[in-house]
């Protein structure tokens, strides 16, 4: 993209309404604009980040065999009457009437709809297990939307639903999903910790929230730093394979043995047993939540399959959410400095910005155009007729992993400067060597 012809409205001033770093930076770097309370438009670079996060979330869901589908945002009220949640959900649910006076709602979640879709088509135990997911906008009429996309009213969620024949199967699905989550967050450059959460009326230990530490988080959390050393992406000695039952068992044991708890579940006696230097505590942001709820919806809504003995069985279900739009804010909370955002390579809107310090200078223009042609869609070309200082500040603010600085002095000999945003490290090199260097 050429910055001179892009809707990337960066701001020098800090917007007064933003109380936390990620909200300030998302507005200042031109990622989003609020269109109604708690509802945001995603401008081009913000939307690129959102799509990059989606891509990683999707890849890890696909890797455990979950099937992507897309359910609508608008749902009929009848489905929610069947589960009993139409009244329970209260004012958070946005209720709508169509021209025929039929009651609809903008979905805050999709357990009822997916249960209905399964009951229409799945008949036999031979068709289970299955996991379905979609990445779709949700609406929850939060009393106090705040912190930008972190607690919005309309937000993008990946929600998955598992269907198994029995508890043992549901447990495997749950563990696979937990592993997919740890891999997802690591790929996003985050250290999310799984913390036992309220499991509701069903009991058991199968409800976890995934929380990252950040001073502006909404919950108080405590965990053992052992979590920070685990590499979920390696396949070798320390890694886990989601297709192996023993690996899944070992993984789940590790996730539930190290201490980790939100304030509601905190156990001071157990915490005392964690060695002092390994204790991490602070505020945390919930970026995901997984939940086993047995036959709650399958029983209420009459979803059955014929078991091996021919008798009808209500499948055991779980649901698994990731706050995709919240993650944009959460990543920024975890990765920024005084000058702006520092994107992890995996989700950066552009890999590099090309800063032309003297548009109109023949050598600068030639080198920049040439690099831009080679780097294509992975580069943002700052071709604006602005001062160098403005370009440096905006590039730092937008947080591209690499900045390619093209000034008249170096350009005369085809030399450019390459800056790594995360470390501030700068090197001089031949313009021709840049694409290989940042690949
Ligand atoms: N109002 C919101 N704005 C942005 N993201 C949200 C919001 N509510 C929930 N999420 C994200 O969706 C994930 C799943 O939601 P869920 O656990 O059902 O919500 P909650 O914890 O608010 O009851 C959460 O972990 C969070 O990342
Ligand atoms: Mg939750």
Pocket residue to mutate for ligand 1, from 321, 329, 330, most atoms within 8 A of Cβ: 321
- Ligand 2 centroid distance, CA of 289 (Å): 5
Report the SS3 class of residue 312.
strand
Decide: 262 and 208 in contact? Cβ < 8 Å. no
**Which residues does ligand 1 sit against, CB inside 6 Å?**
109, 140, 142, 151-152, 155, 157, 286-289, 321, 323, 325-326
Q: Whose CA is nearest to atom 4 of ligand 1?
A: 151
Alpha helices in 319-361 (DSSP H): 324-334
Q: Whose CA is nearest to atom 13 of ligand 1?
A: 323
- Ligand 1 centroid distance, CA of 263 (Å): 18
The number of C-alpha atoms within 13 Å of 201 and in the hemisphere containing its C-beta is 3
- Ligand 1 centroid distance, CA of 109 (Å): 10
Atom of ligand 1 nearest to the CA of 142: 1
Residue 425 burial by Cβ neighbours in a 10 Å radius (0-12, 13-18, 19+): exposed
Atom of ligand 1 nearest to the CA of 145: 1
Q: Any idea which residue has 């910005």 for tokens?
A: 353
- Ligand 1 centroid distance, CA of 300 (Å): 24
Q: Whose CA is nearest to atom 12 of ligand 1?
A: 323
β-pair type (352-356, 379-382): parallel
The pLDDT value recorded for residue 214 is 87
Q: Characterise 424 by phi-psi region: left (phi > 0), alpha (psi -120 to 50), beta (else).
A: left
Pocket residue to mutate for ligand 1, from 106, 326, 327, 333, most atoms within 8 A of Cβ: 326
- Ligand 1 centroid distance, CA of 319 (Å): 13
- Ligand 2 centroid distance, CA of 320 (Å): 10
Decide: 37 and 145 in contact? Cβ < 8 Å. yes
Tokens of 420: 């790594």
Q: Please list, in sequence order, all residues whose beta carbon lies within 8 angstroms of the beta carbon of residue 198, skipping any fewer than 6 positions away.
A: 207, 264, 265
Residue 254 burial by Cβ neighbours in a 10 Å radius (0-12, 13-18, 19+): middle
The pLDDT value recorded for residue 216 is 84
pLDDT in tens, the chain (439 residues): 999 999 999 999 999 989 999 999 999 999 999 999 999 999 999 999 999 999 999 999 999 999 999 999 999 999 999 999 999 999 999 999 999 999 999 999 999 999 999 999 999 999 999 999 999 999 999 999 999 999 999 999 999 999 999 999 999 999 999 999 999 999 999 999 999 887 765 556 689 999 998 888 888 999 999 999 999 998 665 678 888 888 999 999 999 999 999 988 899 999 999 999 999 999 999 999 999 999 999 999 999 999 999 999 999 999 999 999 999 999 999 999 999 999 999 999 999 999 999 999 999 999 999 999 999 999 999 999 999 999 999 999 999 999 999 999 999 999 999 999 999 999 999 999 999 999 9
The pLDDT value recorded for residue 205 is 65
**Rounded distance, CA 164 to CA 420, Å?**
48
The pLDDT value recorded for residue 110 is 97
Pocket residue to mutate for ligand 1, from 144, 289, 319, 333, most atoms within 8 A of Cβ: 289
Atom of ligand 1 nearest to the CA of 108: 18
Asked if residue 393 has a cis previous peptide bond (ω within 30° of 0), the answer is no
Atom of ligand 1 nearest to the CA of 286: 25
The pLDDT value recorded for residue 235 is 66
Tokens of 352: 């590099």
**Rounded distance, CA 334 to CA 118, Å?**
39
**Rounded distance, CA 81 to CA 103, Å?**
11
Atom of ligand 1 nearest to the CA of 152: 3
The pLDDT value recorded for residue 239 is 76
The pLDDT value recorded for residue 218 is 85
Atom of ligand 1 nearest to the CA of 322: 13
The pLDDT value recorded for residue 200 is 62
List the end-to-end C-alpha distance of the chain, in Å, as a whole number. 18
> 311: how many CB neighbours lie within 10 A of its CB?
9
Atom of ligand 1 nearest to the CA of 109: 18
């Amino acid at each position: 993209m050429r910055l001179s012809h892009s809707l990337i409205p960066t701001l020098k001033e800090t917007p007064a309404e933003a109380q936390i770093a990620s909200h300030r930076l998302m507005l200042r770097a031109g990622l989003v604009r609020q269109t109604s309370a708690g509802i945001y438009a995603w401008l081009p670079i913000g939307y690129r980040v959102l799509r990059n996060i989606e891509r990683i979330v999707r890849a890890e869901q696909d890797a455990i065999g979950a099937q992507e589908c897309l359910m609508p945002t608008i749902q009929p009220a009848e489905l929610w009457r069947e589960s009993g949640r139409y009244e329970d959900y209260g004012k958070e649910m946005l209720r709508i009437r169509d021209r025929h006076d039929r009651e609809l709602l903008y979905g805050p979640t999709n357990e009822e709809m997916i249960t209905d879709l399964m009951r229409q088509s799945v008949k036999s135990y031979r068709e289970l297990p299955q996991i379905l997911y979609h990445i779709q906008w949700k609406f929850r009429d939060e009393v106090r939307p705040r912190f930008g996309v972190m607690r919005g009213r309309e937000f993008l969620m990946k929600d998955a639903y598992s269907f198994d024949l029995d508890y043992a199967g549901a447990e495997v699905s749950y563990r696979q999903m937990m592993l997919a989550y740890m891999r997802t967050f690591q790929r996003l450059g985050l250290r999310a910790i799984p913390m036992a959460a309220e499991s509701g009326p069903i009991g058991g230990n199968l409800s976890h929230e995934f929380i990252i530490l950040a001073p502006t988080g909404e919950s108080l959390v405590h965990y053992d730093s052992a979590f920070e050393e685990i590499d979920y992406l390696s396949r070798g000695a320390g890694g886990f394979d989601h297709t192996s039952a023993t690996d899944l068992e070992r993984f789940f044991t590790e996730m539930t043995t190290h201490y980790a708890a939100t304030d509601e579940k905190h156990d001071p006696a157990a915490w005392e047993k964690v060695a002092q230097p390994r204790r991490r505590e602070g505020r945390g942001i919930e970026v995901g939540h997984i939940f086993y709820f047995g036959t709650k919806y399958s029983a209420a809504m009459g979803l059955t399959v014929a078991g091996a003995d021919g008798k009808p069985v209500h499948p055991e279900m779980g649901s698994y959410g990731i706050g995709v739009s919240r993650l944009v804010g959460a990543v920024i909370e975890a990765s920024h400095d005084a000058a702006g955002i520092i994107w992890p390579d995996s989700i950066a809107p552009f890999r590099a910005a090309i800063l032309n310090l003297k548009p109109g200078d023949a050598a600068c223009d030639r080198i920049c155009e040439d690099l831009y042609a080679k780097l294509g869609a992975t580069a943002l070309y700052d071709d604006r007729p602005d001062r160098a200082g403005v370009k440096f500040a905006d590039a730092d603010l937008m947080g591209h992993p690499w900045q390619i600085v093209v000034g008249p002095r170096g350009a005369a000999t085809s030399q450019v400067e390459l800056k790594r945003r995360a470390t501030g490290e700068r090197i001089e090199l031949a313009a021709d060597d840049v694409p290989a260097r940042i690949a």
